[in-house]
Amino acid sequence: MRRVVVTGVGALTPMGGDAASLVEALNRGFSGVRPLDTPWIQSLASPLAAPVTVPVETRFPKLRRLMLDRVAQLSLLATQEAITQSGLDFKSDAGLDCGIFWGTGMGGATTLEHAYIESLLNHAARPRPSTIVMFMTNSSTGQIGIEHKIRGPSFTYSSACSSSAVAIGEAFTAIRSERIRYAVAGGGEALLTQGVMKAWESLQTLARPDPEHPETSCRPFDKHRSGFILGEGAAALVLEEEASARARGANILAELVGYGNSTDAGHITQPDVGGQSRAMRQALTQAGLQPGQIQHINAHGTGTMVGDVIETQAIKSVFGDWARQIPISATKALHGHLMGATGAVEMVVALGVLRTRIVPPTAHLLHPDPECDLDYVPEGAREIPALDVVMSNSFGFGGNNAVLIARRYQP
């Protein structure tokens, strides 16, 4: 089996326009949560979201923009950063041996909602001809291939909140098993539309706004938590077989070593300790690691009453006594829940932890839930001098669980 390394990362999130901004903002405890400035937000009980504030539209020519939903724009910009950092040129023969593995929960939601509004409110209106190709779930995948001339296999994964973690894990598997040499893997999501946000609100999973400090409304593992804040963004990794990266003198950022994937098979929305535990154990087994070798976990940690307790129990089940020694971060408190993009975003964060050896905090954790009694780093960013192995958890509606493990690269 080939070793698989990371040679590029990119991110466009509520924390800023690149991967470095994301990691730095989390370590500072900066919150990307804010009231949305749009007229329809008054129809919701909460005006809060975690939007990307970088002017994305200005990065594309007008004619190109007419074919791109917001999710594709975010995805293309994150991918461009990762590919640039990798130093690879897929317009050459490398593009024939590169795959695209992309995750998204709902694809072009903005385009789809606009088409429905036009059709239902104005029966004479005709949606723009590009509507289908803008909202179809694999639109971002196709646009990434076109932009960078990546001509190997391409896959689009849609498993709710685990979508982009699955994409990275499957890309890792494809390179490891010698199907391809390179992969662009990650995900994007842009769901800050009236219909989508009202639907999440009706499910009673969105956090109640704190009247004095709304940016602190998402509080994972706190006994006063009430849910998550919906966000948007994209993140990408360039994965490569180790021999190729070394031969071209690439800057190797980390090595991916483990991937676990399981299905709860219990309930469409309620998480399951057994399912989450199986995914973590699978990742550890594939990585050839013992539980005591994991030094940091980026938790799924959405801030829901049930989800945080189940994840805590699953971590205890897998790690036993060592669970209390692992610093665990729930970064959604600051960057929001990016749904299909969240696994890739949090993997970029985990790789930033490897690079800096600084673990970001679980923000706004002031009143710990007695049922969530592990080390969630509530005091602020923590420096850990000898930190070499990280795990990232992503658990989605539908009962899909995806777990990734990376370690500091050693030739």
Same domain, 234 and 287: no
Question: At 202, which helix (H) or strand (E)?
Answer: helix 194-202
Of the three residues 224, 247, 270, the one that is the final residue of a domain is 247
Q: Based on the residue annotation, tell me whether 367 is a catalytic residue of this protein.
A: no
Q: Based on the residue annotation, tell me whether 114 is a catalytic residue of this protein.
A: no
Tokens of 223: 């006994």
Q: Which domain holds residue 310?
A: 259-407
- At 332, give phi and psi (nearest 5°): -60, -20
Model pLDDT, residue 121: 83
Model pLDDT, residue 124: 66
Q: pLDDT in tens for each of the 411 residues of the chain?
A: 999 999 999 999 999 999 999 999 999 999 999 999 999 999 999 999 999 999 999 999 999 999 999 999 999 999 999 999 999 999 999 999 999 999 999 999 999 999 998 888 877 678 889 999 999 999 999 999 999 999 999 999 999 999 999 999 999 999 999 999 999 999 999 999 999 999 999 999 999 999 999 999 999 999 999 999 999 999 999 999 999 999 999 999 999 999 999 999 999 999 999 999 999 999 999 999 999 999 999 999 999 999 999 999 999 999 999 999 999 999 999 999 999 999 999 999 999 999 999 999 999 999 999 999 999 999 999 999 999 999 999 999 999 999 999 999 999
Of the three residues 217, 247, 277, the one that is the final residue of a domain is 247
Same domain, 230 and 343: no
Same domain, 191 and 49: yes
Q: How far apart are CA 126 and CA 276, in angstroms?
A: 45
Does any domain span residue 221? Answer: yes
**How do 400-407 and 48-49 pair as beta strands?**
unpaired
Same domain, 276 and 296: yes
Does any domain span residue 254? Answer: no
Indicate the number of domains in the chain.
Answer: 2
Provide the residue type at 107 as one letter: G
Same domain, 241 and 359: no
Considering the candidates 98, 114, 148, 161, report the single residue annotated as catalytic: 161
Of the three residues 213, 247, 281, the one that is the final residue of a domain is 247
Q: Based on the residue annotation, tell me whether 337 is a catalytic residue of this protein.
A: yes
Same domain, 116 and 171: yes
Same domain, 36 and 160: yes
Residue pair 152/92 in contact (Cβ under 8 Å)? The answer is no
Does any domain span residue 112? Answer: yes
- At 304, give phi and psi (nearest 5°): -90, 155
Considering the candidates 114, 296, 300, 364, report the single residue annotated as catalytic: 300
Each residue of 345-391: pLDDT tens digit? 999 999 999 999 999 999 999 999 999 999 999 999 999 999 999 99
Does any domain span residue 252? Answer: no
Does any domain span residue 333? Answer: yes
Residue pair 323/280 in contact (Cβ under 8 Å)? The answer is no
Each residue of 139-197: pLDDT tens digit? 999 999 999 999 999 999 999 999 999 999 999 999 999 999 999 999 999 999 999 99
Does any domain span residue 38? Answer: yes
Same domain, 73 and 220: yes
Same domain, 82 and 189: yes
Does any domain span residue 253? Answer: no
Same domain, 182 and 299: no
Q: What are 402's strand-pairing partners?
A: 261, 394
Q: Please report, for residues 186, 284, 287, 295, 382, the alpha-carbon distance to residue 290 in angstroms, rounded to integers and kept in the order given.
A: 27, 7, 9, 11, 24
Considering the candidates 114, 148, 337, 364, report the single residue annotated as catalytic: 337
Model pLDDT, residue 119: 87
Same domain, 222 and 266: no
Same domain, 288 and 226: no
- CATH number of the domain where residue 300 is located: 3.40.47.10
Helical residues (DSSP H) of 203-268, grouped into ranges: 242-247
Residue pair 303/219 in contact (Cβ under 8 Å)? The answer is yes
Nearest partner of 22 among 398, 394, 338, judged by Cα? 338
Tokens of 130: 């590009």
First-to-final CA distance of the chain: 15
How many CA atoms within 13 Å lie on the side-chain side of 211?
A: 0
